[in-house]
């Protein structure tokens, strides 16, 4: 016999209760809007693969420096 139990809180609430890592705290406090505005390129050239989002690339580079990673392979791992 199975007993269905209702959820006590939602997944979003559970994520809010998780402690933030050092990288998340630093990235949340920085304002990237001026930097992203300068780095963002218009979609004038439609050839080639779709690029990664500018904000994601900037976050990855900051995480790379905070964790003292020397190569992009270390970042991927």
For residue 57, count other CB atoms closer than 10 A to its CB. Answer: 13
The 8-class DSSP code of residue 30 comes to S
Structure confidence at residue 59 as a pLDDT band (50, 70, 90):
confident
Q: Could you tell me the pTM of the whole model? A: 0.60
pLDDT at 41: 65
Length, in residues, of the chain: 77
Structure token pair of residue 63: 């995480």
Domain ranges of the chain: 24-42+50-76
């Amino acid at each position: 016999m199975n007993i269905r139990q209702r959820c006590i809180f939602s997944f979003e609430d559970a994520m809010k209760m998780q402690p933030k890592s050092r990288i998340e705290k630093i990235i949340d406090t920085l304002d990237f809007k001026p930097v992203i505005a300068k780095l963002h390129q218009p979609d004038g050239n439609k050839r080639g693969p779709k690029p990664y989002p500018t904000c994601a690339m900037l976050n990855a580079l900051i995480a790379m420096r905070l964790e003292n990673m020397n190569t992009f392979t270390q970042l991927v791992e």
